[in-house]
Chain A
Amino acid sequence: MKRLWMAVLLLGVLVALCLTNAWYSLTLTRQFSQQLSQAQQLVEQDRWAPARTLTQEVYDSWNGRHFYLHVFLRHSDTDQILRTFRQVLQYLQLEELDQYVAANADLIAQLELLSEMEQPSLVNIL
């Protein structure tokens, strides 16, 4: 009977780990997406410098979670997001409005897709 409880406990730990990861990835990407949207609003008001600072903060925050991102998420997805971050920062530096808006929208979409993949939904399972 001890083996049964150990196995049930192990399954419980795995479920908890998966659900925590789903919640954390959603919270994280939602926060990043909101900040990136705020940065875009600043750019639309022609306030490039604060937009650059805000986007840089998001980028630093993303990089600060390097361990979590590499341990829990697919590297191809996180690497693609990193590349798009660099593009967005470059367009902000060059103050290229059209290019920036397109790249920022792409970045927000990638972040949303990243957490969407981790959610416990029937669509994902099937």
Chain B
Amino acid sequence: MFTGFVRTIILYIVIIVGIRLMGKRQVGELEPSELVLSLVIADLAAVPMQDFGIPLLAGVVPILTLLALTMILSVLTMKHVGFRALLCGRPSIIIRRGKLDQGEMRRNRLTVDELMEELRCQGYPDPSGVWYAILETNGQLSVLPKAQEKPPTLSQLDRQVPEPGFPLVLISDGHVLEHNLTARGVDRRWLEGELKRQGCSAPEAVFLMTLDETGGVYLSPRQEG
């Protein structure tokens, strides 16, 4: 059991270091410690689940060890900037002021094809329209377009538009959600009146009905069959 405990700690650290060395592109959306936990924990649970000759503790002890280590690492990454940089790395600027940083691409093992793919996914098929592109520590590429390439905002156009209200579901698949009615400050009488106005006989005939803060109603009747 002690052997399993120490081996779990050693292998956890080895895999985290391995994933850090593999670079940001391999991490996906998780931090290295979280990725390792999700990779290893399922296998640890599966072994005693299938092999009845192994005591349950042989699976439980390494899993609890991993959870405790992950918790310690997450607290340390929150508290110490240096430790966070060591464990998760730092963002890399791939395009700086419109210019590709090839050294940074090499350091992150990012190929031109991968960069172009990421830029296309972000809606920038032409890299000349990008002012900054930053490879985040979770492997995602953040893109800041050049000022001329940005769509104008309403404030830039000096237009006033009312804020949209957040819609709450009042009827879900024929069921009235009373707590949302209360949250929007309406009651059953208002609901019945609104349903009648929209041509529905009862809440059971409604698939989805929402009400936003500005009083906007969306209603989708239930389809037969």
The answer to whether the Cβ of A21 comes within 8 Å of any Cβ in the partner chain is yes
Inter-chain contact B71/A6, CB cutoff 8 Å: yes
| Interface, chain B (partner A; CB < 8 A) | 1-3, 5-7, 10, 52-58, 61, 64-65, 67-69, 71-72, 74-76
What's the Cα separation between A70 and B55 when bound, in Å?
Answer: 7
Inter-chain contact A14/B57, CB cutoff 8 Å: no
- Of listed A14, A19, A22, A118, residue having the most chain B CB within 10 A: A14
| Interface, chain A (partner B; CB < 8 A) | 1, 3-4, 6-8, 10-11, 14-15, 17-19, 21-22, 70-76, 117-120, 124-125
What's the Cα separation between A6 and B72 when bound, in Å?
Answer: 9
What's the Cα separation between A120 and B9 when bound, in Å?
Answer: 14
Interface of B (DSSP majority class): helix
| B8 nearest CB neighbor, chain A only | A14
Inter-chain contact B61/A14, CB cutoff 8 Å: yes
Inter-chain contact B10/A14, CB cutoff 8 Å: no
Taking the closest CB of chain A, its distance from the CB of B146, in whole angstroms, is: 43
**Cβ contact of A18, chosen from B55, B61, B72, B76, cutoff 8 A:** B61
Contacts of A21 in B (CB 8 A): 1-2
Contacts of B71 in A (CB 8 A): 3-4, 6-7
